[in-house]
Structure 1
Amino acid sequence: MVRRIGLFGGTFDPIHIGHLRSALEVAELLGLDELRLIPGARPPHRGEPQVSARQRLAMVELAVKDVECLKVDDIEFRRERPSYTIETLEALRDELGPDVQLLLMLGWDAFCGLPGWHRWKELLELCHILVLQRPDADSEPPQVLCDLIAARTQADPHDLAGPAGQITYIWQTPLAVSATQIRGLIAAGKSVRFLVPDAVLAYIERYGLYRATT
């Protein structure tokens, strides 16, 4: 049987229950061999995260420590330049071989922004794309992406064939939680218990992360 590995990248600043539920649901729905969470060490599309890359990585490791199908991959920490997804996929192909089915998870907004990504047209040469759609999504993809959708869409995510090349959709009702919300609550001196795993909360409190500065 061909191995099937999900990939879920992000800044995870901090990782929270919304990230984890999405990852776990996809892994279970598709029966993946594993799903790798890949913290971005140097995200090229946004400002520098509030806490260090190593602290974000540590929180992701704590969050999935006891979840068998969820793994952490620090591949983007092995480069000294910005963490472009296409280069991460190339490195994973070199590591895992040409036959492994790689499935890259993207939220709808991120997917609609693909034409702004570095070497975005090459992504489907290396992976399938799982688009996580949500009932309240209202943005429309640009025309260049609509053409790609028309040519590459597989309606049923269970029918993805080969190691790469197709786009499919998974409907999810997201939990109403965001990293921005969590950072704001902590800065305001409010509790974020039950929004992040207990081990992540303990780490945030131990190192005083996200507190307002004076």
Structure 2
Amino acid sequence: MSRRELALFGTSADPPTEGHRALLLGLAQRYGQVAAWASDNPFKQHGAPLELRAQLLGTLIDSLGTPQIELAQELSSPKAIETLERATKRWPDLEPVFVVGGDLAGQIPSWYRAKDLLQRCRLTVVPRQGQPMAANALERLGELGAQVELLELPVPATASSAIRDGLESSSIPEALWPVLLKHNLYGLTSKIAR
């Protein structure tokens, strides 16, 4: 019998969207155990501090009512290899599967110790609707020794950047509104007051 799998999903969660919600639920159906955390992606600018993004992600996870999905904020590190090392210490009996959105697949070869990371865990890439993957991204990952699974999930085409830029707010999960308004994140309080 093969080891049970643990999906490892770090996200900027800046803020979490209905897309994050759908992705987490889809991962729980596919892998059974999901550990998620808010991360500081060194390739991105963030609209809220990490502590608040972790609180938002935790609120979203709690609202799902799915015990096999947990916030594991202690896994958060700007270096994915450190996250993997922390996860394998915490869950030594589970096979780690690193999960990224298709928009990040092209960045992975430039990550710190990417080859080491990819040889120590499986990689699942979930394509994002409306966001093409970088040309040859999967081939480059294969050259680094990655075992890549492409996982098509029914994830709506949402973007945290559209919320941060004030272009839309309909993709914000209902459970997050109290936290967003309490901390006046992303200028949403002023939009509601109009």
For normalisation by structure 1, the TM-score amounts to: 0.76
% identical aligned pairs: 22
2:187 counterpart residue number: 211
Which aligned pairs between 1:184-199 and structure 2 lie closer than 5 A?
184-185=165-166, 192-193=169-170, 195-199=171-175
Aligned counterparts of 2:8 and 2:15: Cα–Cα separation in 1: 18
Structure 1, unpaired ranges of 5+:
153-164
Aligned-partner SS, 1:210: helix
Matched, 1:46 2:44: yes
On the 8 A contact 1:108/1:134 being kept in 2, the answer is: yes
CA distance in 2, matches of 1:94, 1:130: 21
Flag the 1:21–1:135 CA change in 2: closer, same or farther, 3 A: closer
Partner of 1:120: 114
- The Cα offsets for residues 14-51 of structure 1, whole Å up to 9 and x where unpaired, read as 011101101211221x2x231111211x332223x221
AA in 2 matched with 1:85: A
Which residue does 1:18 correspond to in 2? 19
Native 8 Å contact 2:122 2:147 kept in 1: yes
Q: Larger Rg: 1 or 2? A: 1
Given residue 60 of structure 2, which amino acid in structure 1 is its aligned partner?
Answer: A
Residue in structure 2 matched with residue 111 of structure 1 by the alignment: 105
Indicate if the aligned counterparts of 2:126 and 2:153 stay in contact, CA closer than 8 A: yes
SS of equivalent to 2:66: coil
In 2 relative to 1, CA 184–93 (structure 1 residues): closer, same or farther, beyond 3 Å?
Answer: same
Change (3 A) 1:114 1:22: same
Residue 134 of structure 1: how far off its partner (Å): 4.7
1:134-158 Cα shifts (integer Å, max 9, x gaps) = 565253125xx62652796xxxxxx
SS in 1 for 2:164: helix
Aligned to 1:94: 89
Paired residues, what number?
Answer: 184
* Closer, same or farther: CA 3–140 of 1 in aligned 2, 3 Å: same
Contact 1:37 1:70 in 2 (8 A): yes
TM-score, normalization by structure 2: 0.83
